[in-house]
Amino acid sequence: MKRLCICEICSCGRHRCPHQPTALYGKASETCVLTEYTEKFPAYGGHSPPQSLKPLAVNQGDMGRMEGTTTFKTDFVPYKVTRRPGRQQAEYEPSPGDIDLGTTYSLDFSPYEVQPFAPSRPRERVQATGAKLDTVPTYKEDFRQWGVCKRELKKPELTFHPPDGRFVGHTTFQDDFLPRGLVPRESFKPPVIPAVSDIPFNGVTSNQLTYVPHLLEARYVKPPEPYKPSSQPLQDLTTNRRDYQGLPGQLAQSCKPDPVKMASDVPFQSSTEFKERFLEWPVALPLLHKSLDYVSPTEHMDMTTTSGADYIPHNIQPFISAKPFNRSTKSTAPFQGRSTMRDDFQPWVAKRQGIVKKPEEMQRASGRMDDLTTFKAHYTPHQLKPTVSFKPANAPLRTQAPMEGGTMYSTEFTPKRISICPASYESPPGFAFEKSDDRGHKFYRKLSSNNRNKMVVMPKVVPVVS
């Protein structure tokens, strides 16, 4: 009986076996039916990737010895650098006299005898017995110490011994590259020398030798044709004017009333509807709440406080400021308002210079201006005709014929039976699971007609016609 994979049983194309390419024990004889590409396009073993023609990145340097001198070493001249002299600080001189180390705290504070603080916590009672304490824990009793010998080190012995001779600081680069000096490069550019010939220049060209001059004929000039006016009158009517003649109509009249001042000789009546309907009502003053009179207490009031009762007054010397008093430097002599600025610089009588105006080149006309333009002189007024709108009326197009509701889909659609993919079931009907290979493919065996009748009947699917 042929075995089928779940990929081959599927009819909707959405059910696939899990692909496991990293199998430990694979069978090369069986083909993978996971994709169609692996079946139709086999692998070719004789194909090799193209080789790169890029040269190898090998540094081909000069084999001569390198000279360690640079332009900085040859051009730089060392200078003697001295330290910049710093600012010398002045020596500290203590001020004469004694320092008064007395403070207001030491003068005002009086020491008190302080009793040690008695804790309110009860004393700790140690409940000890006279028996001997066994200090051997269960760990020492259960886990005995094993006799473990020390492991030998597998580290190799150091056979390197530093040399006893003097260290030579030469490198392989200094030994292999010998200084050969600077060799100027030879220029392959040709010399800029003009090539001068001794033979005189021959300016005769092939055109001068082979050209034969011909006489030019007189140019034909076409005589101008005289203008002949047309005998027919000019038709200046356009298709728009010819087809759209327009309808006679009148100009739109304004519905705005004339601005006529409404005036009347009747005296103004001061009475209004508000004054006639809304009469004045008597309003009473708001009632004010009268506060109670203050009655002082008859008993004696104790004005003593805790601070006044517990505070002990001390004889304290008032603080004397060491700042000198401000002495007024106001002088009683009269103020002298004269200065050298006022004496030396006297005000000059200066006049404002008039504006220097350039005389006008064009003289203004003294006569009356004629404001008549060429447009006003040649314009001929015409009677305006209102334009007629040829826009069709905004009315819906309706017809009495019934609407044809048939479509190509409703006429050509053929209802088909909707089938359920057998691979969507947990166990496909009509198939029995046989085995799964190392790549994850599940193979099913198709049952015979006798075994198929014993299986559960699939639910009937009714086709849906849209």
Residue 278 domain-assigned?
no
The verdict on residue 157 lying in a domain is no
Q: Judge contact between 33 and 441, C-beta under 8 A.
A: yes
User: What are the C-alpha distances in Å from 369 to residues 123, 362, 374?
Assistant: 127, 16, 15
CA–CA separation, 422 vs 428, rounded Å? 5
Q: Cβ(423)–Cβ(11) under 8 Å? A: yes
Instruction: Give how far Cα 183 sits from Cα of 19, 62, 180, 186, Å.
Output: 70, 13, 8, 9
Residue 439 burial (CB count, 10 A): 18
> In whole angstroms, what separates CA 86 from the centre of its chain?
53
Q: Which pTM does this prediction carry?
A: 0.20
Residue 259 lies in a domain: no
Residue by residue, pLDDT tens for the chain (466 residues) are: 577 887 888 888 777 776 555 445 455 445 454 566 666 666 666 666 778 888 888 777 667 777 778 888 888 888 888 888 888 888 888 888 888 888 888 888 877 787 877 777 777 776 667 777 777 778 888 877 777 778 777 777 777 777 788 877 788 888 888 777 777 778 888 888 877 788 888 888 888 888 888 888 888 888 988 888 888 888 878 888 888 777 777 788 888 888 777 777 777 777 778 888 877 788 888 888 888 888 888 888 888 888 888 877 777 777 777 777 776 667 777 877 778 888 888 877 777 777 877 777 777 777 777 777 888 888 888 888 888 888 877 777 777 778 777 788 888 888 777 778 888 888 888 888 888 877 777 888 888 766 555 444 444 433 333 3
Q: Return d(Cα 18, Cα 441) in angstroms, integer.
A: 7
- DSSP string across 186-214: PP-PPP------SSPP----HHHHH----
Residue 6 lies in a domain: yes
What's the domain range around 433? 1-22+421-448
Q: Tell me whether residue 15 is in a domain.
A: yes
Where do runs of H (alpha helix) occur along 102-214? 104-108, 138-142, 172-176, 206-210
Count of domains forming the chain: 1
Query: Which phi and psi angles does 228 have, rounded to 5°?
Result: -120, 110
In a domain, 402, yes or no: no
- How far is it, in rounded angstroms, from Cα 21 to Cα 437? 12
Separation between Cα atoms, residue 24 and residue 18, nearest integer Å: 16
Is 434 inside a domain boundary?
yes
Give residue for tokens 């004469």: 96
Within a domain: 435:
yes
Which strands make up the sheet holding 3-5, listed edge to edge?
A: 3-5, 442-446, 431-436
Half-sphere exposure of 134 (CA within 13 A, CB side): 5
